[in-house]
Amino acid sequence: MSTAATTMFVAQYQPGEKHLALKDGYPVPSPGPGKVLLKVAACGVCHSDIMFIDGSVLPHPLVLGHEISGYVAEKGEGVDASIEEGILYAVLAIHPKSQSSGGLPALFDSPGAAYDGGFAQYVVVRQDQLVSVPKGVSPELAAVAADAGINAYKFVVRSADIDGKRKRTVLVIGVGGLGHQAVQIAAHFGATVYACDSKPEARALALKLGAVEAFSPPELEAKIKAGFSVNVVMDFVARKTTFETAKAALRGNSLAFPADPRLVVAGLTDEMLEFSTVDTLTYNLTITTPQYGSKQDLEAILDLYANGAVTPEVSTRSLKDVNEVLDELRSGTVLGRTVMLCNV
């Protein structure tokens, strides 16, 4: 089995540049032992991509994109026979064998960070990164599952401990690519969900997806002053202001013992977020900043997509429009997730 293509179209990061270089004629890579060449069906655009570009985090040019779905185009030596053509796969971006490279965290040992990623027509990944996608789940949803979905699931079910076994009240701050899925996952597992976002359309989306109330930041501040409190806050914005709001929304847990409030800081920020042990000890507050989920988490969120329990808000664009989409993400005008279609 071999792809007939020898070159492809890609969107490549260049250190110091704010836009990706769109290149035709980029060589199609060959899969080595234990690896698979995927024909990329879809690749989501993430705030991590913005961090890589605007922060010039990565030291060398490479093709970005880590939220990937696709079909097998070629198998390297030793790839298991269970990896088949014609099956849609989601790519587990970070896997248990991820290692530090060039002094960067092992978390960066992923497509679009350590090696060429999915803003391309083809990408090479390890066979153990592939998770087959259930029937009825589209390529664009499978791509979203590989980062926004897997993380939203892990943050809700494992980090916040919302699994349907006990009644929880949850506040989701930031109804974006991950936050709008967190609303649905938490509601699916029986939590009473509230949401906060500065954008009216995001608040409307949260209500549509299962939140019982959705506040603007000033409205939430007023509610907290009036006594509003929850068991769990998931902060997908992770700014000083939202972190302080999150702590304030959890302080009501000090009125009962024992309490188990959780603050899940799930957004990327370079701001310093501060807390004191008065915050944590007086109401047993757990603050966590979780990393990427597991293969089992990816399988679980794909199943929730397949049975309709979670329906991500997704729009699609051609890969040639990726720089426009990145600018839209920077400006905060994206609702849900935007996914690039890489072979149309």
Nearest Cα to Cα of residue 165 among 193, 191, 194: 191
- In this predicted structure, what is the pLDDT of residue 99? 67
Question: What does the alpha-carbon distance between residue 88 and residue 77 come to, in Å, rounded to a whole number?
Answer: 21
Four-residue CA torsion sign, 53, 59, 60, 66: negative
Structure tokens at 97: 């064998």
Mean pLDDT of the region 256-281: 85
Q: Which of 238, 292, 237, 283 is nearest to 262 (CA)?
A: 283
Tell whether the model's pLDDT for residue 3 goes beyond 90: no
Question: 210 and 194 in contact (C-beta within 8 Å)?
Answer: no
Q: What is the CA radius of gyration of the chain?
A: 20
Answer yes or no: are the C-beta atoms of 147 and 66 closer than 8 Å: yes
The residue behind tokens 């979780």 is 290
Pairing mode of beta strands 35-44, 337-341 = antiparallel
Which of 35-39, 143-147, 153-157, 291-295 is least confident? 291-295
pLDDT tens for each residue of 206-236: 999 999 999 999 999 999 999 999 999 999 9
Residue with tokens 């000090």: 254
Structure confidence at residue 37 as a pLDDT band (50, 70, 90) = very high
pLDDT tens profile 48-70? 999 889 886 788 899 999 999 99
Higher pLDDT, 254 or 262: 262
Count of C-beta atoms within a 10 Å radius of residue 27: 12
Over residues 136-143, mean pLDDT: 98
- The residue type of 88 is L
pLDDT digits (tens, 9 = 90+) for 65-123: 999 999 999 999 999 999 999 999 999 998 777 666 666 666 677 889 889 999 999 99
pLDDT value for 1:
52
Q: Residues 176-214: pLDDT tens digits? A: 999 999 999 999 999 999 999 999 999 999 999 999 999
**Omega before 258 cis (within 30°)?**
yes
Residue 270 has a pLDDT of: 80
pTM, full prediction: 0.93
Q: From CA 197, how far away is CA 194, in angstroms rounded?
A: 10
